[in-house]
Amino acid sequence: MPSLLTTDPRPAPEHAPVGADTRALTLRAKAPLRISFAGGGTDVAPFPETEGGAVLSATIARYAYGSLTPRPGGAIHVASDDLGVSLSFGVDERLTLDGELDLAKAAACHLGELAGGERDGYDLRMHSSAPPGSGLGSSSAVMVALVGLLRDRYGLRMDAYQVARTAHRLERHDLGIRGGQQDHYAAAFGGFNYIEFLGGDHVVVNPLRISEDTVAELEHNLLLCFTGRTRASDNIIADQSARLAGAERDTVEGLRAQKQLATAMKHALLQNRLRDFGALLDEAWQQKKRISPRISTAYIDEAYAAARAAGALGGKITGAGGGGFMLLYCEFDRKRQVAAALTALDMTVDEITFCPTGLSTWSPR
């Protein structure tokens, strides 16, 4: 399999084939998208290295999907249903990172190398329930699904931590796409998690045993609202990193508050204190806006004010900011009024179903 040109040194392969080579099988994969409640930004370097980060998140029943079908000959064909783009390349072809389906290129090259080289071709197709830049971690979930597919193709021994770590390295280091680590671990593990980032690849995923009643009440009271605008999160993250490197007070204190709020919200969920959870969600949004002036916009501020006036207890933008999805918590008797207020501002309003499982792979045989 070809090697990609990259300026980042890659650690020696940590995964070895285990003999369960499935190159003759059609394979499927899906990885869930996520919503983050608090702690976003504390997983972005250099904050984890200096202070340690923490994120509280949960996966939802929206997914990144992948499918791999063997094909005769030495060609690999890749297609994205979301982008309406496809390309083909030979198994021995040297590839260039040119912005065209780079996630698939990086995954195909790296996993093929770990397996000792590709001999036969395949068709690789992918799509996602949310567009890139929507704030639900869709591109990272796509990468996790791709790593899962190719892991199974080659029979590589990779647990959820190794899948997440590999997906993170490919997206953030090999491809140079700015961002944190939380999305890859959420997609690989699934469910409600309190994730600690302790510098480098040292990540600890703490699954939370949230009661069924609490999960049901959350689904009853949460709204997920699409602003109609996507954004390039790497610009916002670059601004955050520059401000952190410059020790700007608001950025540093905003990130520290995010970490503390992730812990406080974890306890609120575990103790079924959902009114407190809603209020903490509002505090998380106020602190998040301190990290960078690019996180909110006039439209987002207007929409959030309208939601609060209609009865929402709290809410926030789910990703880096600037657009994407807004998450809102409101007691059920105010939910219809909040939805109407945001619909009047041309937002698309939907409910949430949580997904308790992470990356899934299977074969239709």
Catalytic residue positions, numbered: 183
Angstrom distance (rounded) from CA 272 to CA 293:
33
Dist CA 148 CA 128 (whole Å): 15
Angle formed by the axes of helices 332-343 and 212-221, to 10°?
40
Residue 77, beta-bridge partner list: 88, 123
Alpha-carbon dihedral of residues 303, 323, 327, 359, nearest 10 degrees? 170
Q: List the structure tokens of 81.
A: 């249903």
User: Is the CB of residue 121 less than 8 Å from the CB of residue 89?
Assistant: no
The answer to whether 208 and 194 have CB atoms below 8 angstroms apart is yes
Examine residue 32 and say whether the peptide bond preceding it is cis (omega within 30 degrees of 0). no
> CB of 116 within 8 A of CB of 300?
no
